[in-house]
Amino acid sequence: MAWRIVHIKEGDILRLRLDNIEIIKMENKLHIPLSDISMIVLEGNRTTVTTKLLSSLSQHNIGLVICDDKYLPVGMYLPYGQYHHNAKRVINQGNWTDNQKAEIWKRVIRQKMDNQISFARYAGVEQERLELMEDLVSNLTVGDKTNREGHVAKVYFDSLYGKSFTRDEDCLTNAAMNFGYAIIRSCMARVVVGSGLITMLGIFHRNEFNSYNLADDLMEPYRPLMDFWINKYVLGDKDYLSYESRQSILSFMHEKITIDDKKMTIDNSMQEFVSSFISSMDNDDPDSILKIELNNFIGEES
């Protein structure tokens, strides 16, 4: 099973060498088996990638993420049509009803909000604000028509970073979250595509200009896990997102979490989560979706 996320800061040429990726930088060559790789993250402006390698990345269901000059992921190259029953799965996806989507979204977004509360409690947020978030979650409706998610997020970020904090602010916290969320999104998109689903057809996100609506839906429970990781390992003395910090964020995907009494990496848990999501939708059983719980991540990580 693929387990590596390869982070290439600067490379001259990336090409296929037998069943390996060959990374050439000046006089140095490095070979990594494609079967070991789940994703490649590229930084820098001088790297050449061969079309033969891109073809093999698709065949091995390997995602390729490209970062801008600020080291933030801005593009993805994903496999196309590699799932063995791709057409059947897409037809089923297109037949999911609005009611099914609303019911499963309630479960998905409930996981995110529960994890936000768990992290806020771990971070020492005062009990009054924890209770406010819990009260908001208790009023969650099918499809979250009253936007409990947005209200909880407001209390959550205010409680952690102060009432003056906004997600548009130019600061290390936002830079780290933007990078971390983009990595989660990329990994989730790779799993969604590898499972034969269309990323554009979401259950809640329906932006006509967004090619990754479904990935944005299913990554939601993982966001607070990344918040925990960033808070513990990235935020500190530096006021910028260093190379070491970006490496630490990437390592998050290899950390262990317990799901249904089984230990697995975050990356592998996404595959299990998406599989349970598909099953719950196809069988019209929203309660059967796996639960991604922050406490089961903190317990493994600590």
Two domains, one topology: 4-77 and 86-301:
no
How high is the mean pLDDT of the chain?
92
Confidence of residue 144 (pLDDT cuts 50, 70, 90): very high
CATH of 4-77, one of 3.100.10.20, 3.20.20.70, 3.90.260.10, 3.40.50.1370: 3.100.10.20
Bigger pLDDT: 219 vs 87: 219
Give the pLDDT of residue 235. 92
The encoded tokens of residue 99 equal 């009611």
Q: What is the DSSP letter of 290?
A: P
User: What pTM value is reported for the model?
Assistant: 0.90
CA distances, 105 to each of 5, 59, 137, 213 (Å)? 29, 31, 14, 13
Q: What is the mean pLDDT of residues 102-113?
A: 98
Confidence of residue 2 (pLDDT cuts 50, 70, 90): low
Comparing CA positions, the residue from 62, 76, 71 lying closest to residue 8 is 71
- Rounded-to-integer distance, Cα 2 and Cα 34, Å: 8
Give the pLDDT of residue 71. 85
Q: What is the pLDDT of residues 21-43, one digit of tens each?
A: 999 988 889 999 999 999 999 99
Side by side, which strands form the sheet with 48-49?
A: 28-33, 20-25, 13-17, 48-49
Q: Where are the domains of the chain?
A: 4-77, 86-301
Q: DSSP for 59-114?
A: HTT-EEEEE-TTS-EEEEE---S-STTHHHHHHHHHH--HHHHHHHHHHHHHHHHH
Confidence of residue 83 (pLDDT cuts 50, 70, 90): low
Indicate if the pLDDT at residue 190 is higher than 80. yes
Which residues have C-beta within 8 Å of that of residue 236, sequence separation ≥ 6?
A: none
CB-side exposure of 257: number of CA atoms within 13 Å?
27
Confidence of residue 300 (pLDDT cuts 50, 70, 90): low
Give the pLDDT of residue 85. 74
CA distances, 222 to each of 82, 129, 179, 205 (Å)? 26, 22, 14, 16
> 86-301 has which CATH code?
1.20.120.920
